[in-house]
Amino acid sequence: MFSSIFKRYFTTTTMVSAETTKKVQDLIKAKPVFIASKSYCPYCTKTKNLIGSITKDAYILELDTIEDGGEIQEALLQLTGQRTVPNVFIGGEHIGGNSDVQALNSADKLEPKIKALL
């Protein structure tokens, strides 16, 4: 019983096209700092503000403002195991979400990591 409830609410059933998966992988590779975000999310805002204080060159994709945002979010889930936003990549490396970015910053590792790429 529990496993069927878990699967219903916590697993993905959306099929992601190969084209969308490739698009996401290409963005991760091409953009030194890539943030998948939603415009109304307070955690996304915190992450964007912090990274924006280090560089103005972060590539931010607002998933709630584009037609294929839901499918991109599903592709990110399949690639990283993370459903939530922000979903941050630096130098092609998956960093995680806001708490992961804040932890890197607290350890004085965020700025050097970003500046090494730019």
92 token code pair: 């092609």
Task: Label the pairing between strands 33-37 and 87-90.
Answer: antiparallel
Q: Give yes or no for residue 8 having a pLDDT over 50.
A: no
Residue 1: inside a domain: no
Residue 81: inside a domain: yes
Query: How many separate domains does the chain show?
Result: 1
Quick check: 25 and 17 in contact, CB under 8 A? no
Residue 4: inside a domain: no
Cβ count within 10 A of residue 62: 17
Averaged pLDDT for residues 61-76: 97
**Which CATH number is 70's domain given?**
3.40.30.10
**What is the residue range of 35's domain?**
14-115
Burial level of 29, CB count in 10 A (0-12/13-18/19+)? Answer: exposed
User: Model's pTM, two decimal places?
Assistant: 0.86
| Spatial distance between the Cα atoms of 43 and 59, rounded to a whole number of angstroms | 17
Residue 95: inside a domain: yes
